[in-house]
Structures are given as C-alpha cells and as structure tokens.
C-alpha cells in the first residue's frame, strides 16, 4: 500500500506510527524512464511525436551540460508512506551559486585524483557516484535509509533499505571505487533499526523489522546470522543503540506498542504511540525491564554506564544510569537524575568521547556543565587525534576537540539541507531533528580513525571525507588520562600526577578558579567568592569564533555594565577593537584574525594590556602597585617586573600579592628588574595580573582551600567547610592550544564498606556500639520486575562507632522499621507491611491500600552476640519507633497516633497498668535523664524532677489531642519527652523543625538531599509578651547545614536520611551508607535562656494556699496560668493568671467544690452510677489503680483523691526579647470526705 509523497513545503512530517513505505532505486527508475518499445514504435511510424520523443531520449541518455553531475537529487522529501520521486530534468546536485570551500588552513589539492568506478553493468543496490567538493566523495543511495551503523574494525557500513532489509557496504571498497554492497540481510518486514554492539568475543550487527518483535544477531565479520531474541510487551522495535564497551552486554531499544482501539473512520492512527525504552543482554539473550517513562531514543557513554535519553514529549531530556531511568517518572527535580533543557530535547545526544553534544551545545559527560555553544553541530570525534566532525548550515565542519574552534569547512549542495520544515521528534525516521534540518530526515556521522575518514550518512546520500584531502595542521591532544576520584574525604590530601593520554611536549596544567565562569544554580563551582561578597563575572564566549567573523557573541553582557565602545578586547592571543554593541553582539575590527574555541580566555584590556573584567577570588589589598613584565608560571621563583623603582627603600624580606597568591620577596635584581620570591603553592598568573606590595599589618583573607598544580602534580586537601559536590575547572595548554575540562567530586565523610544497604542506625546510650539494619536493595531503587527474580534480603547488625566497622550481622525474615540496642539485647520492630513492589498492577494497588491500614507489629529481642530471636511480643498497631528507657523498659510508639506501648525488659512483658488514649509520646530520653509515664527522672531514674504529663492521674485527653500547652500572649509551649529540654516556648502555630531532637543541645535534626540540617529550638524569633502575634508557619532559625555527600543518589525527597544522636555525635544512614557528624559542627554553642525544669513539690493541698517557686536565670518577669482541666482550645481562659518578678507565686486552692468535681471526673464517675455506693466504688477503684504511680512519684500512699491541674509559666529575659516556657502539672489531693460529699449530691 503506497501513498503520494508529502509536498516539499509541508510543515508536518508523517506520523511516527504510519506504515513504512517501500522506497527503492528500482522503482525510481521505473517511474522516471519512458518505455523503450513505445518510443521505437512511435519513431518507426514516422510520427511527429516520435521525432520529439527521439530528441527527448537523446537528452535523457546524454544529459545536459557537461558540468552537471551524473545523478540529480532535487526531489521532494520521501514520505514515510510515499515513494521517492525522480528529480526534474535539468536539475543539478551542485547549484551555480555553490559557495567556495572554506578551510582555516588552506584549500588543498589532493595528490591523487579521486577514484573512478570502472565501467560495468549497473547493480540494483550499488551506490551511484555524484560530484561534490573535490575534498569529498559523494554517493546516492539506491533507496532512502532511516538507520545506519558503522563498524570501524571492518570498515563496514550497515544501513536499512526498504526493498531489501539491511544492506552492508565496505568502506575500503568504496574508497577504491567498488560501489556494490558486500551483503544484504533480510529482516522481518520493513527494516526499522540497526546498530553495532561490540562484545568480548565478537562484534554484532543487531537488526529489527516491522513485522516481528524480535532482534536478529549478525556477526560483523562473517555477516552470518547466529541468533534471534524474541521480545515481550511491544509491537516492534524502532530504535537500537549499544556502547563500544566489550564488557557491556546490553543493547537498548525503543518500542512501538498499540494503545486504544483503531476506529473505522480514523484517518490518522494517533492512538499508536511511541512507548518505552528497554534493553536486552546479548550474552544471556534475556530481555530486561522497560522504563516507566516514554523515551524516543537513547545515546550511551563509551563505557555504557551513562545513558542520554529523549522523552517522547516536551519534557526535558535526561541522563543517568539505567537503574535511574527505570525509576524516572518525569520529574527530574524529585529524582536522582540529571536533565538538560527542553529547547535541546528535539536533538539527540552525540557522544564525543570526553564530552557530549546536543545540537550546537557541548556538555561535559555528566551534562552538569555546559562547556560551550558552537556555530556547528558536532556529530562524531576521531580517536587518534583531537578532531570533531559535524554539520552547519550548508556545510560539513571539522573542529578542534581541544577548544572546539573550526579548522575546516566544506560546502554541501544547498538543496540537501532545508530549514522550512519542522521535523516530528516522535518519528524515528526523523529522529535526528538537528539544525539545520536535513532534507531526507536522517543523519548519522561516524569518525573512522583507522582510515582517517569521516562517514556521513544522509537519508538518500552517503558522503566520505578523507582527512588526507584537508591538510589539517597537526595539534597535540590535550585530554588528560588521570582521573580524579569521584569522592574525597575532608582533611585528606589528594595528589595526582597529571598526564595526557597522548604525550605532548611543553604541556602545562593549571586549576582555574571558577570566579570567571557563569555558575549554574544546580552545581557548586569550586573557587567562587564567599556568600555575601560581590561576585562580578568575567567575560565568557557564548560560541566559538571563526577567522572571518566580524562579531563576537558572549554568554552575558553584564560584565560590560558601565563600559561603552570603543573598547579593546583580547581573545587568546588576538587583540581586536569593539566598535559597537548591537543586539547582544559585539561588533569588532580585527587586524590579525584567527579562529577561537568557545573556552578561550577573553577580557577587556586597557592600553597596557591589563585585564579590566576578570574578577579575582579575594579582595584586592591596598598597597604599592607593581607591573609584571612577563607571565608567571606555577613553578617560577624569579618574577620579572616592568620597573623595580617602587620598591626602593623597602626592607627585605617583604610580602607581595599577585592575583590571589601571596609570596615573599627575598632579593631584588635592579639590572634584570626581577624579584626572587619564595612561594608556598604556585599558580599561573598572566602578564596583566595585579601585583601589590603588602603592608606589614595586612592579614591574609581567609578563603577556600583551592587545588594547586606544581610540576604537573595536582594537590588538594579539601576542608570540612567544602563538604558537598564541587566542580573543578582544569586547563591544559601546549603549542598555543588550550583545552579545558571539568572534574566533578563529592567531598564526603568516609564511611565503612558494608555488606548491605543501611536503612537505619540507633546508637547504644553511653556506649560505642550501634544497631544498624538494612537490605540488599534500597526501597526507592526497587523495581517490580526485579522483585520477581531478585528477592530482597534484610539484615540487622552491630556496628562499632569508634572503629567504624561492622562487628557482626545476620539476615532477618522481614524488613526492620526501627531498632534499639541495650546490654540486654537488640530490640527490633519487624514490618507488618508487604514492602515488595508487585509487577501486577492490581496486586500493587492492593499492596498500597494495605499500607494505609492499621496492622499489628511484631517486636523481637535478639541476642547481642548471636543476633538470634530469643523473645517476641505483638502489639495491635504498627510501631515506627523503639526506645530503651534507663535499661529497664522498652517504649514502642504507634505509627499513626504516637501512642506509647510499654514493656519490661528483657522479658518483653507488658508494664501494668496499661496506658491507653495518649496519642503522643509519654516516654523518652532527655539530656541527663529520662521521661517515663510522663514523669521526668534523673539519670539513675531514682529522683523525679517534673510531672510533664499526668498520665495516671487524669482521664485520657481524647482523640487528636496534642502535647502542646497554651501559653501567655498567644504563644505555645511545646512539651516533648525527648531532647535537651522538655519544654520549648514558640509563637502560636510555629512548629519545631527536624526529624528528631538532639539531647546535647536544643536543636532539631533532619537529613534531606544529602545535607544534615540543625534547627535552633533555643531562640526562635518571638514577639514580645503582651502582644498577640499573627499566626505563622515559618520554621525556626536554621543554624547550620552540613553537606554529607553531594551524590546524585541523594537528590529527591525519597532520599532523606535516617538520623540518630547520642553522646554529642549525629549518626546518619543515607543512601545505604553510614556517616557520623560531631554535633558541635552543626551548632554554635550559645547561652540558652531556659527554665530549670524541676518542681519543688508534686502534691498541693486542697483548701488552702500553696507557695510555688520557679527559676529561669536571667529572667525579670514571670507569667503564670492555671487550668483545672487540660485546655483544648487557643481561647480557653485559665482559672488563674498571675505575674511575678522573682518566680514565686502563692496559689489559692480554696474552691473545694470545684476540686471535688474534678476528682469525680478523673475517677470516671458516670451518669450510669446511679447509687452513692456505685459512685464510691468507682472512686475507690480509681484510687487503688493510681496508688503505685502515686507512691513511685511521692514515696507514699494517697490520703485523698489525687487530681491533676495544669500550669504554664513564661519567663521574660532582661533583654526584653527572649522568652522561655515551662508547662507541667501538679496533683491536688482532694480529701476523701469532700469527694464523697460531692458524690452523694449527684
């Protein structure tokens, strides 16, 4: 089934899923040449028409002008469903206005003439030579192609042909004039994709066709098929790619799959859409997983570890490991994946060895740094020389791989390239979508270093560009083979001997501080100015510069603010004059023009050649100014000046500063106008660098510890202040050529290598051990398909915090949600949930619903030595946290309501009486004590200090009750049974930040996205007492942030770390690793305005005044409030409000009837208790139940009926700004007679 071809001016390309059109040269000839028998018959008849046809035949056979090419190609672009039509008569492949070839060196006349194919009978699949520039070999293909793959080892080029399948040509044959293919490989239906994959034992052409979801494997040497791989969950494969790493067995593909129902009146089958990426292991012949996100194609780094994928949408392109692409949901911000801008998404990524290119933009391999924007689109890089090959408008461009400047350009026929058509990025036959748009809808570029030839495959043409015809000037390759470690530890020196992959004479290396680079907000560039410092940017080229250009494009014009033309500009070694700034371009006059790469140094200079626009990393000190006579390298001990007269009268030794480097002058040579200097760490300085004589009292400014390069040795000792991810900009120079590259490094704390991925850690209080737990695969890296074949395993272990080593570990049956370590054993909560993702959609949804259900939890005790289960107990709810209290008890906290379940240890027997209804924690650890059943105790748990929550002396507060107490002036006192203190005053509606609280200092701690944060609970911004603040949800002061690691795996909300704190150190489990941070690195010790959290009595007498005393050192005023019942609402009025200047209050408790009513309420006397005896029995039962807790708190039995009252106290500091709060309870012992009397009245 065929359709007419698209009109040449059509703005839309055919649908990606339209059936393939069979196009071939045989059909073109049939459609274009007249029938010979008919012509002869008409001539024989002597008709006029016959004579006219005779002339037409003569023209057709012998052509027009001798200057025209033998094959014409000015045809309408081939439709995905149409037939490639013949060119109109008289058209040429090389227009009359063809531009002259351009070469930065010189146009060369080849020594040997181009090979000419010997005269022979035409073959159906043979290429046809066409005339191009003398430096190119051009061929017309026998049919349009949509995919190609080149094998440099054999010189074989495989490309699709709709008539035959995959056709293979030999480059050596083509260079010698043999134009026939060496093999034809049939495919299942029309060919859709082909790629080359290098394996350890062979090289393989991988083929795919439209009629079957499978891959055909063909040996690239023998060209014989040796296997097939059937694929699941797809209609057919439309794209294939594989890396050049022989140890990487995978081939990646994109799929086609039907979705929806095709209706009878559907003209366009839009419901067939591009689906996902997948991969196949060619060694095991097994299909791997499919991505959740839809991608149109993928490019691979040379090692196959990094993928560059384009989504089949308007979303950004993404790069990352295969495991990262699998879990990618389309949101790069919340994932661990790197994206590149949407405006580049329409172009595929071209891997160029050390860098990658997207259209005209060149990135480093990680795509974190945009290195340069060019005026051509590089497509391939040669391996044996620093040379790129790519396309620009109407020409093939060769550029330096060192600094990306053009070194040669060769024109192409103008009608091969067109810009009036928007390509559909979803059509794999138009998948390049580069600028300029290529008429035939396909482009593939390969660089053959063995044959020194560029191979450029268009949809209907093939072009070979032998480098020998270009006469390019040789230049050294400045690519460094010494890799910087991906992770370094603070305080440990990194030392590397810098060596090029290919040796070059006279090479120098330097570290370039990034103050003259435009930093991206997603990266940290080492060497930037400190926060709060003015940070002027240096001029930076926005694109390379050709020798013919009369304008310069910058990344930004901001560095030129305040300056007006004319100005003098220097790029590399060329000096030019800026005459005008026009629409973001600098119009320049050039006297000695040369080509420049986008990374070359650029600056506005003065009449003496001094740089006026490049900032330094440190402020320029005051002092006498000197002028350099020559540049200074990083090893030089003799500095040449223009004049030493300013130094007359100065005493030696003296200190000078060149740029950011300080050095000591030990001798002055008046004859040579030179200084002998002593340098600590040398760096490079240009001849225009500032030189200042430092005064004796000038102190060195503290700056970042930056790398240095001396004698080709890179040295750097990162500090703790440099924790996190950094980008190091490096530069190599040789023979007048420069090359810049970027190293990405994480300054991270060292961590132990563990046999499993750590999920959580809890230290043993007062010890050097910790319990850790984890699993083989982290939860956010799990995939449903993997879970079927690779079941997760779960572990628990004992870790030595001092020696940072795992003492022992053991597998457990279920994942652990929390654990605690004590000398009596390891206590652990085993998850009640199914945490394994399901491949079946319905099963996965059922599993997710179950996560929201209230389910029981199994708590086990493991032997510390063997880690085997010795005791266990079940609680009715899901517990999220365990805590051992004073070596006596175990507290387990409910996931949903924070209800506390209490057990005696080591037997795990329930503590009686049970406490129910408190939906906040009533047990925990404080700085030098414990909280148990709402009472704050000392370290030995012998002396009670504070009745925080009257757990046993009040009715449960009810559902959704909070632990906060209402305070004066609209504030809130947060009551928390853990941390340095148990009470913290805040403005109303302000929440305490952090996952946990530290016990050594009042701060909250949390770990998100690779950083550990500390939030101050000591001095939040608070309004004055006496004014009601406007409710705010602003968090407390963020004191400090310490980056633990800048790894890409920490990106995203799901990469938050587990945080624990004990004995002044914070332990973090982050992305499977363990880290330890001293708490004093997170906070600055400060004077904390706080209450002494103790009460001098717990029981107050009913019916007479009680004297109370509070202490908050530094306070000048105290505000006191009292409620007979726990307040539930912000506007609930207290029963008493008092003020004091010394913290003493006299509390009247004479309202016996009100106290007796409170006692009845707490005792649980109900309306159903109709008789006085029933009510008295209820009271006696209550007193009997609370007697053990009362005796533990007071040391004696109750004489009456204890009931709780609630107080809050606010202290105001003498500075008038700081406040402190304390909330707690007293027990009022109501005489039994008064209670009975009130009970009888009911």
What confidence score (pLDDT) does residue 54 get?
A: 44
How far apart (Å, rounded) are the C-alpha atoms in residues 63 and 897? 90
CA torsion, points 396, 399, 401, 404, in degrees to nearest 10? -120
Closest residue by Cα to residue 1122 from 1147, 1094, 1159: 1147
pLDDT at 265 > cutoff 90:
no
pLDDT at 699 > cutoff 60:
no
Cα 428–430–432 angle (5° rounding)?
95
Give the tens place of pLDDT for each residue, 741-772.
888 888 877 677 788 989 999 999 888 899 99
DSSP 8-state assignment for residue 475: -
250-258 sheet: strands from edge to edge = 236-242, 250-258, 272-281, 286-300, 307-311, 317-320, 338-340
What confidence score (pLDDT) does residue 607 get?
A: 80
Tokens 């000190």 map to which residue?
Answer: 621
What confidence score (pLDDT) does residue 589 get?
A: 94
pLDDT at 254 > cutoff 70:
yes
What confidence score (pLDDT) does residue 522 get?
A: 40
Tokens 């799929």 map to which residue?
Answer: 255
Homologous superfamily in CATH for domain 187-345: YVTN repeat-like/Quinoprotein amine dehydrogenase (2.130.10.10)
pLDDT at 63 > cutoff 90:
no
Give the tens place of pLDDT for each residue, 598-609.
767 788 888 877
What confidence score (pLDDT) does residue 116 get?
A: 42
Question: What 3-state DSSP class applies to 410?
Answer: strand
Beta strands 225-230; 236-242: pairing state: unpaired
Q: Quick one: average pLDDT of 331-335?
A: 48
Q: Quick one: average pLDDT of 855-884?
A: 90
Give the tens place of pLDDT for each residue, 624-637.
888 888 888 877 88
What confidence score (pLDDT) does residue 675 get?
A: 93
pLDDT at 493 > cutoff 70:
yes
pLDDT band of residue 274 (cuts 50, 70, 90) is: low
pLDDT at 119 > cutoff 60:
no
Q: Quick one: average pLDDT of 662-684?
A: 86
The ranges of the chain annotated as CATH 2.40.30 are: 623-702
Pick the most confident of 520-529, 614-623, 1053-1062, 1097-1106: 1097-1106
Q: Which two tokens stand for residue 565?
A: 């033309």
769: how many CB neighbours lie within 10 A of its CB? 17
Give the tens place of pLDDT for each residue, 468-480.
999 899 999 999 9
The ranges of the chain annotated as CATH 2.40.33 are: 535-616
Domain covering 623-702 in this structure, CATH number: 2.40.30
How much of the chain is in helix, strand and coil states, percent to nearest 5? 10, 40, 50
What confidence score (pLDDT) does residue 369 get?
A: 81
Give the tens place of pLDDT for each residue, 532-550.
333 345 677 877 788 788 9
What confidence score (pLDDT) does residue 644 get?
A: 86
How far apart (Å, rounded) are the C-alpha atoms in residues 1014 and 1006? 7
Which fold does the domain 752-778+790-911 belong to in CATH?
A: Methylamine Dehydrogenase; Chain H (2.130.10)
Give the tens place of pLDDT for each residue, 354-405.
899 988 888 888 887 888 888 888 999 999 999 999 998 789 999 999 999 9
Task: Tell me phi and psi for residue 295, to 5 degrees.
Answer: -130, 145
634, 710 contact by CB (below 8 A): yes
Q: Could you tell me where the DSSP H helices lie in 828-930? A: 841-850
Q: Could you check whether the bond before residue 514 is cis, i.e. omega within 30 degrees of 0? A: no
Percentage of the chain modeled with pLDDT above 90 = 32
The ranges of the chain annotated as CATH 2.130.10.10 are: 187-345, 752-778+790-911
The ranges of the chain annotated as CATH 2.60.40 are: 1099-1241
How far apart (Å, rounded) are the C-alpha atoms in residues 508 and 709? 9
What confidence score (pLDDT) does residue 643 get?
A: 86
Q: Which two tokens stand for residue 439?
A: 């008429």
Closest residue by Cα to residue 82 from 20, 145, 15: 20
pLDDT band of residue 251 (cuts 50, 70, 90) is: very high
Closest residue by Cα to residue 233 from 216, 255, 249, 250: 255
Q: Quick one: average pLDDT of 876-899?
A: 86
Choice between 919 and 589, residue whose per-residue pLDDT is larger: 589
Give the tens place of pLDDT for each residue, 413-463.
877 765 444 444 445 555 544 444 444 467 889 999 999 999 999 888 999
Judged by average pLDDT, the poorest of 524-528, 1021-1025, 1151-1155, 1190-1194 is 1021-1025
What confidence score (pLDDT) does residue 958 get?
A: 60
pLDDT at 615 > cutoff 80:
no
Q: Quick one: average pLDDT of 326-350?
A: 60
**Is the sign of the CA dihedral 606, 610, 611, 616 positive or negative?**
negative
Q: Quick one: average pLDDT of 1084-1092?
A: 80
pLDDT band of residue 971 (cuts 50, 70, 90) is: confident
Give the tens place of pLDDT for each residue, 548-573.
889 988 877 777 877 889 999 988 77
Pick the most confident of 488-497, 1044-1053, 1134-1143: 1134-1143
What confidence score (pLDDT) does residue 789 get?
A: 46
Judged by average pLDDT, the poorest of 261-265, 307-311, 951-955, 986-990 is 261-265
Question: What 3-state DSSP class applies to 398?
Answer: strand
How far apart (Å, rounded) are the C-alpha atoms in residues 1204 and 950? 7
737-747 sheet: strands from edge to edge = 487-488, 737-747, 724-734, 508-512
Which fold does the domain 1099-1241 belong to in CATH?
A: Immunoglobulin-like (2.60.40)
Percentage of the chain modeled with pLDDT above 70 = 74
Exposed / middle / buried, residue 365 (Cβ in 10 Å: 0-12, 13-18, 19+): buried
pLDDT at 1036 > cutoff 60:
no
Q: Could you tell me where the DSSP H helices lie in 691-809? A: 784-789
1102, 1200 contact by CB (below 8 A): yes
Q: Quick one: average pLDDT of 684-693?
A: 80
Cβ-proximal residues to 401 (8 Å cutoff; 6+ apart), any chain: 352, 353, 354, 381, 382, 386, 387, 388, 477, 479
What confidence score (pLDDT) does residue 36 get?
A: 41
pLDDT band of residue 917 (cuts 50, 70, 90) is: confident
Q: Quick one: average pLDDT of 840-853?
A: 74
CA torsion, points 58, 59, 60, 64, in degrees to nearest 10? 140
Pick the most confident of 66-75, 1001-1010, 1082-1091: 1001-1010
CA distance to 185, 513, 541, 598, per residue, from 557 (Å): 56, 21, 10, 16
Choice between 233 and 84, residue whose per-residue pLDDT is larger: 233
Task: Tell me phi and psi for residue 374, to 5 degrees.
Answer: -110, 175
pLDDT band of residue 1087 (cuts 50, 70, 90) is: confident
How far apart (Å, rounded) are the C-alpha atoms in residues 348 and 359? 7
How far apart (Å, rounded) are the C-alpha atoms in residues 673 and 1211? 71
Cβ-proximal residues to 460 (8 Å cutoff; 6+ apart), any chain: 73, 78, 84, 140, 141, 144, 145, 439, 440
How far apart (Å, rounded) are the C-alpha atoms in residues 431 and 295? 12
- Tell whether pTM > 0.85: no
Q: Long-range contact list for 754-758, CB < 8 A, 24+ apart? A: 754/797, 754/806, 754/1072, 754/1073, 754/1074, 755/795, 755/806, 755/809, 756/793, 756/795, 756/809, 756/1072, 757/1072, 758/1069, 758/1072, 758/1073, 758/1074
Choice between 1130 and 602, residue whose per-residue pLDDT is larger: 602
Question: What 3-state DSSP class applies to 730?
Answer: strand
pLDDT band of residue 1038 (cuts 50, 70, 90) is: low
Pick the most confident of 38-47, 553-562, 1156-1165: 1156-1165
pLDDT at 183 > cutoff 70:
yes
What confidence score (pLDDT) does residue 417 get?
A: 62
What confidence score (pLDDT) does residue 105 get?
A: 33
Task: Tell me phi and psi for residue 888, to 5 degrees.
Answer: -115, -40
Which fold does the domain 535-616 belong to in CATH?
A: M1 Pyruvate Kinase; Domain 3 (2.40.33)
pLDDT at 517 > cutoff 60:
no
What confidence score (pLDDT) does residue 366 get?
A: 84
Choice between 218 and 331, residue whose per-residue pLDDT is larger: 218
Buried b (16+ CB within 10 A) or exposed e, 915-944: beebbbbbbbbbeebbbbbbbbbeeebeeb
């Amino acid at each position: 089934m065929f359709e007419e071809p698209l009109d040449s001016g059509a703005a839309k390309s055919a649908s990606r899923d339209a059936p393939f059109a069979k196009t071939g040269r045989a059909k073109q000839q049939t459609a274009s040449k007249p029938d010979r028998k008919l012509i002869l018959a008409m001539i024989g008849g002597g008709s006029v028409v016959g004579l006219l046809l005779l002339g037409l035949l003569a023209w057709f056979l012998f052509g027009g002008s001798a200057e025209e090419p033998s094959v014409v190609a000015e045809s309408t672009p081939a439709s995905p469903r149409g037939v490639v039509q013949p060119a109109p008569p008289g058209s040429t492949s090389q227009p009359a206005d063809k531009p002259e070839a351009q070469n930065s060196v010189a146009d060369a006349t080849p020594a040997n003439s181009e090979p000419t194919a010997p005269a022979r009978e035409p073959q159906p699949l043979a290429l046809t030579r066409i005339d191009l520039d003398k430096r190119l070999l051009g061929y017309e293909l026998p049919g349009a192609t949509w995919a190609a793959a080149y094998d440099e080892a054999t010189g074989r080029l495989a490309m699709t042909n709709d008539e035959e399948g995959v056709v293979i040509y030999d480059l050596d044959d083509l260079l010698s004039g043999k134009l026939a293919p060496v093999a034809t490989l049939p495919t299942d239906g029309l060919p859709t994709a082909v790629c080359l994959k290098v394996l350890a034992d062979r090289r393989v052409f991988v083929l795919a066709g439209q009629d079957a979801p499978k891959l055909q494997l063909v040996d690239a040497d023998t060209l014989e098929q040796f296997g097939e791989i059937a694929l699941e969950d797809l209609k057919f494969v439309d794209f294939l790619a594989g890396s050049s790493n022989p140890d990487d067995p995978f081939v990646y593909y994109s799929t086609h799959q039907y979705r929806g129902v095709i209706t009878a009146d559907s003209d366009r089958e839009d419901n067939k859409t591009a689906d996902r990426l997948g991969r196949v292991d060619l060694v095991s012949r097994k299909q791997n997983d499919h991505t959740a996100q839809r991608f149109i194609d993928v490019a691979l780094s040379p090692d196959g570890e990094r993928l560059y994928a384009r989504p089949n949408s308007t979303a950004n392109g993404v790069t990352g490991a295969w495991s990262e692409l699998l879990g990618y949901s389309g949101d790069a911000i919340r994932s661990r994946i790197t994206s590149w801008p949407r405006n580049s998404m329409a172009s595929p990524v071209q891997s160029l060895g050390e860098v990658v290119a997207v259209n005209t933009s060149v990135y480093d391999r990680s795509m974190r740094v945009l290195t340069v924007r060019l005026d051509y689109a590089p497509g391939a890089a040669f391996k044996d020389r620093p040379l790129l090959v790519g396309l620009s408008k109407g020409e093939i461009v060769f550029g330096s791989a060192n600094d990306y400047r053009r070194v040669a350009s060769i024109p192409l026929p103008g009608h091969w390239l067109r810009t009036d058509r928007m390509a559909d990025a979803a059509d794999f036959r138009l998948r390049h979508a580069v600028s300029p748009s290529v008429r035939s809808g396909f482009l593939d570029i390969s660089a053959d270093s063995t044959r020194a030839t560029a191979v450029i495959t268009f949809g209907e043409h093939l072009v070979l560009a032998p480098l020998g015809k270009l006469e390019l000037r040789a230049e050294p390759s400045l690519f460094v083979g010494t890799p910087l470690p991906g992770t370094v530890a603070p305080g440990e020196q990194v030392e590397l001997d810098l060596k090029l992959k290919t040796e070059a004479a006279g090479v120098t290396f330097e570290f370039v501080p990034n103050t003259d680079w435009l930093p991206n907000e997603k990266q940290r560039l080492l060497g930037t100015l400190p926060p709060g410092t003015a940070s002027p940017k240096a001029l930076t080229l926005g694109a390379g510069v050709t020798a013919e250009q009369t304008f310069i494009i910058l990344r930004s014009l901001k560095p030129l603010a305040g300056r007006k033309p004319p100005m003098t500009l220097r790029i590399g070694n060329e000096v030019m004059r800026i005459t005008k700034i026009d629409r973001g371009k600098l119009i320049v006059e050039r006297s000695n023009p040369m080509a420049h790469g986008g990374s070359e140094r650029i600056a506005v200079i003065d009449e003496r050649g001094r740089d006026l626009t490049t900032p330094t990393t440190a402020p320029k000190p005051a002092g006498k100014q000197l002028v350099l006579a020559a540049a200074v390298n990083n090893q030089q001990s003799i500095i040449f000046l223009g004049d030493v007269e300013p130094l007359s009268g100065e005493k030696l030794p003296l200190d000078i500063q060149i740029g950011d480097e300080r050095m000591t002058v030990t001798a002055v040579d008046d004859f040579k106008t030179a200084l002998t200097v002593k340098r600590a760490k040398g760096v490079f300085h240009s001849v225009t660098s500032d030189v200042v004589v430092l005064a004796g009292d000038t102190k060195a400014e503290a700056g970042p510890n930056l790398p240095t390069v001396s004698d080709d040795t890179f040295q750097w000792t990162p500090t703790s202040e440099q924790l996190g991810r950094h980008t190091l900009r490096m530069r190599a120079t040789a023979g007048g050529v420069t090359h810049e590259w970027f190293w990405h490094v994480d300054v991270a704390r060292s961590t132990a290598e563990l046999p499993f991925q750590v999920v959580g850690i809890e230290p043993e209080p007062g010890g050097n051990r910790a319990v850790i737990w984890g699993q083989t695969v982290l939860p956010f890296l799990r995939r449903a398909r993997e879970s079927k074949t690779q079941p997760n395993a779960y572990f628990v272990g004992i870790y030595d915090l001092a020696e940072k080593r795992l003492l022992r570990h053991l597998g457990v049956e279920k994942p652990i949600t929390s654990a605690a370590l004590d000398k009596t054993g390891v206590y652990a909560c085993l998850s009640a949930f199914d945490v394994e993702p399901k491949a079946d959609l319905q099963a996965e949804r059922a599993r997710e619903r179950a996560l929201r259900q209230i389910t029981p939890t199994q708590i086990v005790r493991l032997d510390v030595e063997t880690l085997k289960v010795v005791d266990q107990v079940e609680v009715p709810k899901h517990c999220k946290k365990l805590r051992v209290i004073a070596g006596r008890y175990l507290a387990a906290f409910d996931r949903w309501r924070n209800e506390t379940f209490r057990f005696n240890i080591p037997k795990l027997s329930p503590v009686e009486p049970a406490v129910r209804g408190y939906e906040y924690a009533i047990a925990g650890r404080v700085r030098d004590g414990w909280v148990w059943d709402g009472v704050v105790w000392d370290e030995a748990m012998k002396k009670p200090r504070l009745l925080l929550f009257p757990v046993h002396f009040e009715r449960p507060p009810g559902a959704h009750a909070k632990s906060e107490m209402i305070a004066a002036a609209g504030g809130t006192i947060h009551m928390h049974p853990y941390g340095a203190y148990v009470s913290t005053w805040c403005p109303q509606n302000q929440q305490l930040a952090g996952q946990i609280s530290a016990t050594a200092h009042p701060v909250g701690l949390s770990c998100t996205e690779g950083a550990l944060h500390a939030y101050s609970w000591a001095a939040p911004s608070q309004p004055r007492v006496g004014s009601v603040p406007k409710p705010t949800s602003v968090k407390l002061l963020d004191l400090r942030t310490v980056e633990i690691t800048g790894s890409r795996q920490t990106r995203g909300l799901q990469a938050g770390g587990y945080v624990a704190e004990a004995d002044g150190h914070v332990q973090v489990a982050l992305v499977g690793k363990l880290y330890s941070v001293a708490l004093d690195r997170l906070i600055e010790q400060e004077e904390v305005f706080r209450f002494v959290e103790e009460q001098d009595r717990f029981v107050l007498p009913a019916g007479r005044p009680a004297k109370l005393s509070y202490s908050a050192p530094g306070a000048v005023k105290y505000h006191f409030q009292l409620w007979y019942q726990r307040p539930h609402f912000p506007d609930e009025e207290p029963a008493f409000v008092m003020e004091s200047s010394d913290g003493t209050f006299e509390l009247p408790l004479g309202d016996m009837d009100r106290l007796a009513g409170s006692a009845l309420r707490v005792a649980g006397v109900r309306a159903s208790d109709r008789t006085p005896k029933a009510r008295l029995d209820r009271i006696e039962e209550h007193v009997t139940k609370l007697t053990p807790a009362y005796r533990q708190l007071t040391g004696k039995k109750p004489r009456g009926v204890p009931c709780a009252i609630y107080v809050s106290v606010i202290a105001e500091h003498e500075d008038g700004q700081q406040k402190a709060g304390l909330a707690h309870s007293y027990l009022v012992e109501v005489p039994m007679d008064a209670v009975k009397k009130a009970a009888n009245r009911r």
